[in-house]
């Protein structure tokens, strides 16, 4: 199978007759991605597609057509049982690769272009939303009398009151929490590598101040904001994405909440809360860092107002022949 993972400093290039040439465009395509999560997702799709179709080299990959793409789509659906949205993401990764090859003259047609993608409901998101009581129950779990507990409480508040992605919490140093024009703000990285500065909610401000007031690294402005701590011993290392997820999972399980609630649920929960409070969609979109407002709408329409359903006003036989309402015992 094609190896698209660079293994050395000069693995992306080689000298040929005094000129610089690429080993293969597939390697360059993946190496050009700057986001680690994007690289992982695209790499999975690429390798999965090659293994399924027994593709061994670049020539075989570039000769793949609609039949191979459709076969891959059916495999993901019937054998892997993946959800439509996930299948669309995998096909998008392949389309991105073939599109790169086409733009560089390696192929004439992108075989993914004419392959139908699974339909998904773009008007509603799939991320579960927490109720207010579930949020409060979650925030009650960390022991804020300890440094580790205070740190974890601040992390949970960051997700619930800032609505950021999991990886954003690892992009902040102590100096990225500061006062500006009378308000405390956080400067963190959003999707795409750009920085975003947002005002800090009073509850989040209290949580961060509590944590930094107990910590030993608050004076080191270049230190990661959230560092590894175990039994109040400092290790000084930034937490990994997986460690942030583990912290959320730990307190979610301790609170007895459903495993369906992930750190991403905090993002959807905040968006839904702000929408219910009447915040303009444009402001919620900016906070979440969405390029398209339709994406924001999938977050703010997760909760159905079942109590307002007209079915509760349907009552067969409730009106008698004189147009009067009939009483029912329920």
pLDDT given at position 147: 92
pLDDT digit string, tens, across residues 13-33: 443 443 333 347 788 898 888
Asked, for residue 215, whether it belongs to a domain, the answer is yes
Q: pLDDT category, 306, cuts 50, 70, 90?
A: low
Residues 88 and 147 in one domain: no
Which residues, 6+ apart, have CB-to-CB distance to 81 below 8 Å?
A: none
Q: pLDDT category, 233, cuts 50, 70, 90?
A: low
Half-sphere exposure of 151 (CA within 13 A, CB side): 27
pLDDT given at position 230: 73
Residues 99 and 136 in one domain: no
Residues 217 and 150 in one domain: yes
Residues 203 and 245 in one domain: yes
Residues 141 and 99 in one domain: no
Asked if pLDDT for residue 158 goes beyond 70, the answer is yes
- The set of long-range contacts for 34-39, using a CB threshold of 8 Å and a minimum separation of 24, is 34/193, 35/191, 35/192, 35/193, 37/167
Q: What is the mean pLDDT of residues 244-258?
A: 95
Q: What is the CATH number of the domain that holds 206?
A: 1.10.443.10
Asked, for residue 312, whether it belongs to a domain, the answer is no
pLDDT given at position 6: 42
Asked, for residue 18, whether it belongs to a domain, the answer is yes
pLDDT digit string, tens, across residues 36-62: 778 888 999 999 999 999 998 888 999
Percent of the chain with pLDDT over 70: 75
Asked, for residue 316, whether it belongs to a domain, the answer is no
Q: What is the CATH number of the domain that holds 72?
A: 1.10.150
Residues 86 and 138 in one domain: no
Which residue reads 């090659």 in tokens? 50
Q: Cβ(295)–Cβ(165) under 8 Å?
A: no
Rounded to whole angstroms, the Cα distance separating 97 from 46 reads 8
Asked, for residue 68, whether it belongs to a domain, the answer is yes
Residues 75 and 151 in one domain: no
Residues 152 and 283 in one domain: yes
Residues 160 and 286 in one domain: yes
Q: What is the mean pLDDT of residues 188-194?
A: 74
Domain total of the chain: 2
pLDDT digit string, tens, across residues 91-149: 999 999 999 999 999 999 999 999 999 887 655 567 888 999 999 999 999 999 999 99
Q: What is the mean pLDDT of residues 181-208?
A: 84
Asked, for residue 66, whether it belongs to a domain, the answer is yes
Residues 153 and 258 in one domain: yes
Q: pLDDT category, 328, cuts 50, 70, 90?
A: very low
Rounded to whole angstroms, the Cα distance separating 268 from 125 reads 9
CB atoms within 10 A of CB 291: 10
Helix (H) and strand (E) counts in the chain: 12, 7
The mean pLDDT of the chain is 81
Asked, for residue 119, whether it belongs to a domain, the answer is no
Residues 288 and 184 in one domain: yes
Indicate the pTM of the whole model: 0.63
Asked, for residue 205, whether it belongs to a domain, the answer is yes
Q: Cβ(141)–Cβ(96) under 8 Å?
A: no
pLDDT given at position 292: 59
Asked if pLDDT for residue 267 goes beyond 80, the answer is yes
Lowest mean pLDDT among 232-241, 277-286, 296-305: 296-305
Residues 84 and 146 in one domain: no
Q: Which domain holds residue 67?
A: 13-103
């Amino acid at each position: 199978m094609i190896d698209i993972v660079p293994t050395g400093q000069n693995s992306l290039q080689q000298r040929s007759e005094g000129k610089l040439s690429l080993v293969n465009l597939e390697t360059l395509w993946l190496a050009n991605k700057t986001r680690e999560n994007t690289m992982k997702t695209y790499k999975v799709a690429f390798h999965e597609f090659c293994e399924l179709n027994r593709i061994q080299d670049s020539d075989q990959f570039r000769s793949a057509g609609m039949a191979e793409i459709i076969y891959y789509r059916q495999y993901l659906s019937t054998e892997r049982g993946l959800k439509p949205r996930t299948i669309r993401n995998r096909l998008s990764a392949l389309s991105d690769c073939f599109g790169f090859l086409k733009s560089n003259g390696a192929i004439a047609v992108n075989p993914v272009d004419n392959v139908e993608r699974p339909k998904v409901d773009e008007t509603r998101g799939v991320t579960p939303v927490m109720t207010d009581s579930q949020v409060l129950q979650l925030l009650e779990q960390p022991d804020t009398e300890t440094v580790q507990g205070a740190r974890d409480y601040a992390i949970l508040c960051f997700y619930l009151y800032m609505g950021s992605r999991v990886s954003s919490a690892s992009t902040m140093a102590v100096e990225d929490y500061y006062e500006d024009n009378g308000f405390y703000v956080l400067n963190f990285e959003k999707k795409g590598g750009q920085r975003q500065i947002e005002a800090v909610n009073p509850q989040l401000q209290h949580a961060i101040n509590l944590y930094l007031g107990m910590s030993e690294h608050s004076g080191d402005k270049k230190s990661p904001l959230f560092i590894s701590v175990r039994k109040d011993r400092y290790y000084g290392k930034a937490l990994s994405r997986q460690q942030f997820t583990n912290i959320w999972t730990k307190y979610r399980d301790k609170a007895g909440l459903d495993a369906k609630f992930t750190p991403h649920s905090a993002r959807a929960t905040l968006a839904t809360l702000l929408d219910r409070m009447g915040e303009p969609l444009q402001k919620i979109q900016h906070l979440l860092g969405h390029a398209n407002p339709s994406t924001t709408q999938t977050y703010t329409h997760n909760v159905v107002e079942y109590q307002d359903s007209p079915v509760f006003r349907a009552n067969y036989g409730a009106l008698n022949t004189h147009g009067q309402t009939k009483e029912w015992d329920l």
